[in-house]
Amino acid sequence: MKTVKGTRDLLPEDTYLFQQIEQRAWDHFAKYGFREIRTPIFEETSLFLRGIGDDTDIVTKEMYRFKDKGERDITLRPELTASVCRAVIQHNLVGAEDILRLMYSGPMFRYERPQAGRYRQFYQFGVEVFGSQDPLVDVETIEALMSFIAPFKLPNLELMLNSVGDETDRPAYLKYLRQTLNSKRELLCSDCQNRIDNNVLRVLDCKQSNCQSHLQDLQPISDFWSKENRDHFESVCSGLKRLDIPFKINPRLVRGLDYYTKTAFELVSGDLGAQSAVMGGGRYDRLIETLGGKDMPAFGWALGLDRLASLWSTYADPEPGPDLFLIFGQRQWLDTALPWIASLRRAGVSVAYDIRVRSFKSQMKRANRENASWAGIIGEDEHDQQTVALKNMQSSEQKSCKRSDVAATIKNKEIPC
């Protein structure tokens, strides 16, 4: 038996990276006032139909949709913004004067064509801010993202920024695109031909170079921006500049979900091949209303954990081994040492040993392989005297130590005995 196509097991070396990223994220975004929300893995399908948009790739091709035993139309969540909005409405989480900041992490499901960096079950960490249309929200939420990403020290990351307008100016641009692209219809790929009729904005980010070559002379959406949307975009740009956050304006940047208004942005990496987007997001001022809530502006983004972990795996420090690896001359000495080992663990020391108590040489090899900070050798003398020969694996310094001193010695990182 194997994992289903497009899914994968995250093995301990993978989960180590995921945990590190998530832990850093929880700590970092808590400082900005974000609090965690967990919503169900599956929702009523109508939430995604209304939220993401009937004509998007996600809704038309990629949903894991099924009837449950009660004949309910259910879909495994393909993203979390719609679910978080549903929760905000259902629990009335935002009062008139409030700004609400939520963060989440978990698996998403899309029936996409699997390839490197693209899975059918993948993981996202994301944030959402509800209750303000102030461009400062866009700026501070992008700043929070960039200062989270910076310590990973990843080269070749670029922040791409655009505005996709809103209901006041986007319809005119869509009309222009449809008219112009209809005249070139035969030159475009079959997907783009469909997009002209169903989701014309998505023609702009077609990955086929042939299509791209026919799009070069199109007017950018910025030519159609209303005064309000232009002002919003300029405020976001000047806010980012004030914070020394480098970005590139990409007039072709559109997003795969219909709900975006005004600011749209992506973080792309030159090291990821075709699936270059590490995260994406933007403003979605109409979504809460579309889903039956009140008129409430919002802003958010989602970071692909699979892609971030893959980029970071080249640079991350190796996973630390146990604090102490115990090496025993005889198996029964391990048995008598168990209460002491339990007390070490209670004192916060991570302890490993070879339960089979093989030869000294093979136990020592394993202490090295597991990258232990200390080896504790218990031969006949140490067993009789209730001591341990403690060896610092980095300096190779070794001394006999009372067992009751071991926890303090390891915590102080030196041998006092």
CA–CA separation, 24 and 30 (whole Å): 10
CB of 79 or CB of 138, closer to ligand AMP:
79
CB of 198 or CB of 400, closer to ligand AMP:
198
Minimum CB separation from ligand AMP for residue 165, in Å?
Answer: 18
Beta bridge partners of 198: none
CB of 152 or CB of 333, closer to ligand AMP:
152
CB of 1 or CB of 274, closer to ligand AMP:
274
Show Cβ contacts of residue 359 under 8 Å, excluding neighbours closer than 6 positions: none
Minimum CB separation from ligand AMP for residue 124, in Å?
Answer: 5
Minimum CB separation from ligand AMP for residue 305, in Å?
Answer: 8
Minimum CB separation from ligand AMP for residue 306, in Å?
Answer: 5
DSSP secondary structure string for all residues of 133-189 = --HHHHHHHHHHHHHHHGGG--SSEEEEEEE---TTTHHHHHHHHHHHHHTTGGGS-
Minimum CB separation from ligand AMP for residue 154, in Å?
Answer: 13
DSSP secondary structure string for all residues of 335-347 = HHHHHHHHHHHHT
Q: What's the sign of the alpha-carbon dihedral 42, 46, 47, 51?
A: positive
Interaction site with ligand AMP (CB under 6 A): 79, 110, 112, 117-119, 122, 124, 256, 277-280, 302, 304, 306-307
Cα–chain-centroid distance for residue 310? 11
CB of 142 or CB of 302, closer to ligand AMP:
302
Beta bridge partners of 35: 102
CB of 192 or CB of 279, closer to ligand AMP:
279
CA–CA separation, 350 and 324 (whole Å): 6
Q: Which residue is nearest to ligand AMP (CB)?
A: 304
Beta bridge partners of 277: 268
CA–CA separation, 375 and 27 (whole Å): 33
Minimum CB separation from ligand AMP for residue 136, in Å?
Answer: 23
Minimum CB separation from ligand AMP for residue 277, in Å?
Answer: 4
Minimum CB separation from ligand AMP for residue 26, in Å?
Answer: 18
Please report which helix (H) or strand (E) contains residue 244, including its range.
Answer: none
Burial class (CB in 10 A: 0-12, 13-18, 19+), 251: middle
SS3 assignment, position 322: coil
329 phi, psi to nearest 5 deg: -75, -30
CB of 6 or CB of 251, closer to ligand AMP:
6
SS3 assignment, position 349: coil
Minimum CB separation from ligand AMP for residue 282, in Å?
Answer: 9
CB of 18 or CB of 176, closer to ligand AMP:
18
CA–CA separation, 50 and 61 (whole Å): 15
Cβ-contact 276, 270 below 8 angstroms: yes
For residue 364, the one-letter residue type is M
SS3 assignment, position 404: helix
Cβ-contact 140, 245 below 8 angstroms: no
Minimum CB separation from ligand AMP for residue 122, in Å?
Answer: 3
CB of 205 or CB of 285, closer to ligand AMP:
205
Of how many residues is the chain composed? 417
Cβ-contact 144, 127 below 8 angstroms: yes
CB of 58 or CB of 393, closer to ligand AMP:
58
